[in-house]
Amino acid sequence: MTVQGLADQFSLGDLAQRLGVELRGDASILISGMATLGGAGPGQLSFLANPQYRSQLQGTRAAAVIIHPDLAAECPVASLISTNPYLTYARASQLFDRRPRQPEGIHPAAIVADDVVLGQGCRIGPRVVIEAGVVLGDRVEIGPGSVIGAGCRIGNDCLLHANVTLYYGVVMGERCVLQSSVVIGGDGFGFAPAQGRWHKIAQLGGVRIGDDVEIGASTTIDRGALKDTIIGNNVILDNQIQIAHNVEIGDGTAIAGCTGIAGSTKIGKHCTIAGAVGIAGHLEIADRVHLTMRSAITKSISEPGSYSSGTAMSTTAEWRKNAARFRQLDEMARKIRSLEQRLKALEPPDQA
C-alpha cells in the first residue's frame, strides 16, 4: 500500500496560494494536518464555519484558522480569510488526505479478463474480478474484493473501495467514488402476479452514472426494466439508500441515508432529501425540492420548496393521545359539518 498525499506538511503561504485565499500572519508557519477549533494543536489548521463554535475561537491552539472576513479581527492566531470557510475547509482537507492506496498495476491475486482495456495508472487490488469487455479509464482504483461485471465502463479517476459490485453493463462517468459494499446494476424488483405466484420480469435496462458522483456504503442502485436507471452529475448519495429500477436523479441532488425511492420516479436537479424518506413509484419531483426527515412522499411535487409529512416529536404519552385522536378525525369532521348545518339552520334570514 502507498499513502496518498501531496506532502507531509505545507507552509501557510503555500496553502493560501493553493486555496486562493488571503493570508494574515506568518507565511512560514508549517501545517501538518487539520483539526477542530477545540481540538487543534500546534501545526494544525482549523476552521470556523458555524457560528455555534465562535466561542471556541479565542481559546484555540490551532496554528491557523480558516475564517470569514467579518470575524477575522477576532482570530488570535494566523488566519486564511475566505468568504466561504466551509468550502475552503473542504478543499484544504483534500491536501491532507492520507488514505492508503493500492499500488499501481494489477495485484497478482486479481482476476482480469484478457480483453479488458485498462487506462494509464490504474490500481487493481487483490481478489478483484474484472469480467470480459470492461473498459477502465485512466487512474481508476479498484479496492480488494470488488467485482466488475462484463461490459462495464468506468471513467477516469474513479475510486471503488473494497467489495464494490457492478453488475454487467454499468456505465460510470469520471471522478466517481463508491464506498464499500455498494451494489450497482442488480435486478429491479419486478414481478408479475398470476394465480397466487410471482413471475419474474427480466430487467433489460442498465445503469448510467454521471461525473463526480459519490455513493455511500451499502447503497444499492437497481438496473432498469426496459430503459436505464440514471444518476446525474455531481449527485451525492449517503449510506444504505435503495434506488429502484428506472429511477432518474437530476444533477446536483443530495440524498441522506436510509432513503428509499421506488421504481420509475424522476427526481429533479439540486434537490436535497433528508434521511429515511420514502418516495413512492412513478412520481415526478421538481428541481430544488427539499424533503425533510422521514417524510412519506406519495404524490408528485411540481414546485420547488420544502415538503414534510408525519408528525413532530412529542413525549410518548402525548403521541399516544394524538394517535388516538388521529383515528377519530373522520368522525370529528362529520360531527363538525353536522353542527355547522344545524347552526346555519338557526340563523335568522337576511333582512335585505
First to last CA, the chain: 93
- Dihedral, 161, 163, 169, 171 alpha carbons, nearest 10: -10
What does the pLDDT look like over 193-227, one tens digit per residue? 999 999 999 999 999 999 999 999 999 999 999 99
Any idea what the Cα angle at residue 223 is, between residues 222 and 224, rounded to 5°? 120
Residue 264 in this model has a pLDDT that exceeds 80: yes
Residues of the chain with CATH 2.160.10.10: 179-307
Assigned CATH topology for domain 179-307: UDP N-Acetylglucosamine Acyltransferase; domain 1 (2.160.10)
DSSP assignment string, 68-85: -GGGGGG-SSEEEE-SSH
- Grid cell locating 344: 346555519
Residue 5 in this model has a pLDDT that exceeds 50: no
Class (C level, CATH) for 2-95 = alpha beta
Mean pLDDT of the chain: 94
For residue 187, what pLDDT is reported?
97
Sign of CA dihedral 42, 43, 44, 45: positive
Residue 1 in this model has a pLDDT that exceeds 60: no
- pLDDT-derived band at 265, boundaries 50, 70, 90: very high
Catalytic residues: 245
Residues of the chain with CATH 3.40.1390.10: 2-95
What does the pLDDT look like over 53-91, one tens digit per residue? 999 999 999 999 999 999 999 999 999 999 999 999 999
| Phi, psi (rounded to 5 degrees) for 107 | -65, 145
Query: Helices marked H in the chain — which ranges?
Result: 12-19, 85-95, 316-326, 329-346
What does the pLDDT look like over 285-331, one tens digit per residue? 999 999 999 999 999 999 999 999 987 788 989 988 888 888 888 89
Residue 249 in this model has a pLDDT that exceeds 70: yes
Q: For residue 263, how many other CB atoms are within 10 A of its CB?
A: 19
